[in-house]
């Protein structure tokens, strides 16, 4: 941190911090950005700056899905899709810390890797159908959407919940962002099909759009320093390679041969 505002009380110049900018602020790829104090936290002391940078987006998503929305408790069962990806690698570890039984979907080359993270049941999505192997789950974290989300509803127990981070957005999301009545109507329509399917099955569907939270990042930092979570950095790009990094990760998604965990852009 190179400077603080006049009203900032919790941080000082020179502090090593990490954050996810608020939805109304852009600049993640910028060399410098101003962040609201409420969205900021001291980075975990036990990890490098690059490792800390890999955490806010995926760890806040996992926290808000499993803890805040999912209320995941010891003994419950959760299915986490794309377990070797950025969100998946953190969500598996967090779910195990919370005492849940964790199933995940990955490609064959990542089976041993996600087992090391704590996954109890690992399904090779290329050769196995998770819908045929799982049943009675309390919670699903879906990062793929489409048919995968529809199938995920069918592995839930009555009263279970599917949380989607790939869409479709629902009316609650529209209210959260203060959308106008027309946009609320459109958003509600987008998710009407999946919500109807959920109701018929006696389960629920919620869309999650992660929000910035310094308080949650402080809790996550404590878990990292306590050994419950470890960042997974698949590759570090130099700042001058930002365009190349985005292009490579866009055309080679994780399960098609990309990286494990998160890619990080570093300004050495």
For 198-250, write each residue's pLDDT tens digit: 999 999 999 999 999 999 999 999 999 999 999 999 999 999 999 888 877 76
Average pLDDT for 26-53? 92
pTM: 0.92
What pLDDT, in 10s, does the model give residues 59-112? 999 999 999 999 999 999 999 999 999 999 999 999 999 999 999 999 999 999
Element (H, E) at 41: strand 40-42
* pLDDT of 252 higher than 50: no
Higher pLDDT among residues 118 and 174, named by residue: 118
User: Identical fold at 17-55+213-266 and 57-207?
Assistant: no
Other CB atoms closer than 10 Å to residue 189's CB: what's the count? 11
pLDDT confidence tier of residue 186, bands split at 50, 70 and 90: confident
CATH of 17-55+213-266, one of 1.10.540.10, 3.90.180.10, 3.30.70.360, 3.40.50.970: 3.90.180.10
* pLDDT of 5 higher than 90: yes
Nearest to 86 by CA among 243, 235, 237, 266: 235
Please tell me the distance from the alpha carbon of residue 77 to that of residue 79, in angstroms, as a whole number.
7
Other CB atoms closer than 10 Å to residue 228's CB: what's the count? 15
User: Strand pairing partners for 204?
Assistant: 161
Question: Angle, nearest 10°, between helix axes 192-201 and 146-153?
Answer: 20
Other CB atoms closer than 10 Å to residue 218's CB: what's the count? 14
Sketch the domain layout of the chain as residue ranges.
Answer: 17-55+213-266, 57-207
What pLDDT, in 10s, does the model give residues 122-145? 999 999 999 999 999 999 999 999
Nearest to 223 by CA among 76, 114, 90: 90
For 167, phi then psi, to 5°, come to: 100, 175
Q: Which residues contact 49 (CB under 8 A, 6 or more apart)?
A: 16, 43, 266
Q: Are 140 and 76 in contact (CB under 8 A)?
A: no
- As a whole-number percent, the residues of the chain with pLDDT over 70 amount to 95
Reported CATH class of domain 57-207: alpha beta
pLDDT confidence tier of residue 117, bands split at 50, 70 and 90: very high
Element (H, E) at 25: none
Of 165-169, 219-223, 251-255, the one with minimum mean pLDDT is 251-255
pLDDT confidence tier of residue 178, bands split at 50, 70 and 90: confident
Q: Is 75 helix (H, G, I), strand (E, B) or coil?
A: coil
Exposure string (b/e) for 77-92, b if CB count within 10 Å is 16 or more?
Answer: bbbbbbbbbbbbbbbb
Query: Under the phi-then-psi rule, with left for phi > 0, alpha for psi from -120 to 50, and beta for the rest, what region is 159?
Result: left
Nearest to 131 by CA among 106, 147, 154: 154
pLDDT confidence tier of residue 180, bands split at 50, 70 and 90: confident
């Amino acid at each position: 941190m190179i400077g603080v505002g006049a009203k900032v009380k919790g941080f000082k110049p020179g502090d090593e911090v990490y954050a996810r900018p608020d939805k109304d602020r852009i600049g993640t790829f910028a060399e410098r950005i101003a962040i609201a104090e409420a969205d900021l936290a001291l980075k975990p002391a036990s990890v490098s700056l690059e490792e800390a940078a890999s955490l806010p987006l995926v760890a806040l998503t996992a926290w808000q899905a499993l803890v805040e929305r999912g209320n995941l408790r010891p003994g419950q069962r959760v299915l986490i899709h794309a377990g070797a990806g950025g969100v998946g690698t953190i969500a598996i570890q967090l779910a195990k810390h919370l005492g849940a039984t964790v199933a995940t979907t990955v490609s064959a080359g990542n089976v041993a890797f996600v087992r090391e993270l704590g996954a109890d049941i690992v399904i090779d999505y290329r050769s196995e159908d998770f819908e045929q192997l799982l049943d009675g789950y309390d919670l699903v974290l879906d990062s793929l959407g489409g048919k995968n989300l529809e199938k995920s509803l069918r592995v839930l127990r009555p009263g279970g919940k599917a949380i989607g981070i790939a869409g479709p957005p629902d009316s609650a999301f529209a209210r959260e962002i203060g959308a106008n009545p027309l946009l609320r109507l459109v958003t509600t329509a987008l998710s009407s099909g999946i919500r109807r399917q959920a109701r018929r099955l006696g389960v629920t569907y919620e869309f999650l759009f992660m929000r910035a939270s310094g308080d949650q990042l402080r809790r996550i930092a404590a878990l990292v320093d306590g050994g419950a979570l470890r960042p997974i950095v698949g590759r570090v790009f130099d700042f001058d390679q930002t365009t190349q990094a985005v292009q490579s990760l866009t055309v080679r998604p994780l399960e098609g041969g990309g990286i494990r965990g998160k890619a990080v852009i570093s300004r050495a």
